[in-house]
Chain A
Amino acid sequence: MIGILLVTHGEIGRSMIDCAAHILDNYPISVESLSINSNNDLHQYNDIIAKKIKNLESGHGVLIMTDIYGATPCNLLNKFIQKDKVEVVTGINLPMLIKAISDRKDNIKTLITDSIECAQKNIKKI
């Protein structure tokens, strides 16, 4: 199963996982979060991220979701990207996460495409 890691400002990631679990009535497996505080020493996060990726990797890759493109949590992730193994998407929203959790397949490319499409589809003026 593809692992999913949310690396975000504050507790957004943790809260999104809790909300997804509430909606899906099931706590998702192989999904973790990491809260980044840019006032802390950022080097400490490298080891934590590496460990989390290792924990989540079961042979099908790890998809990392973050919130703002270009912000500190996002910038910390660049060095961990490995094509088709560890990938990063930005602009996380709850639909993106629920889509990724509920339609998780073993192909990380498809998972990325489907999750981004779902996230975008859910941004509408009503």
Chain B
Amino acid sequence: MIKKKMKIINKLGLHARASSKLTQLACSFNSKIFLIKDENKVNAKSIMEVLMLAAGKNTIIFVEAEGVDEKEAISSIEKLLLNYFGEGE
């Protein structure tokens, strides 16, 4: 199991379309993937669970993955966040 701290840096935060992108990416891995913000731990493969984090810009989250492709999952999700979810800002 890998757990990594990440920061939401895009302007709109983990809004609906960003959550959808993250969910779609998470679904492409076999590993179980969770997002953790404060006390809340949600399934990264469920868009409505991800949205319940209400994670705005500069929020710190932890991404946890467990499974055969956990390393790739963590690094791909980190790349998506660092790339501002493809939103440019």
Contacts and interface: CB of A to CB of B under 8 A. Distances in A.
Interface of A: 22-25, 95, 98-99, 102-103, 118, 121-122
Contacts of A103: 46, 48
What secondary structure prevails in chain B residues at the interface with A?
Answer: helix
Contacts of B10: none
A122 B21 CA distance: 20
Given A25-B24, A95-B51, A122-B48, 7 more contacts: A22-B17, A23-B16, A25-B17, A25-B21, A102-B46, A102-B47, A102-B48
B11 to A, nearest CB: 17
Nearest to A99: B48
B35 to A, nearest CB: 16
B31 interface: no
Contacts of B21: 25
Nearest to A22: B17
Interface in B19-59: 20-21, 23-24, 46-48, 51-52
A108 to B, nearest CB: 18
A99 B47 CA distance: 8
B20 A24 contact: yes
Contact of A23 (B17, B46, B52): B17
A94 to B, nearest CB: 9
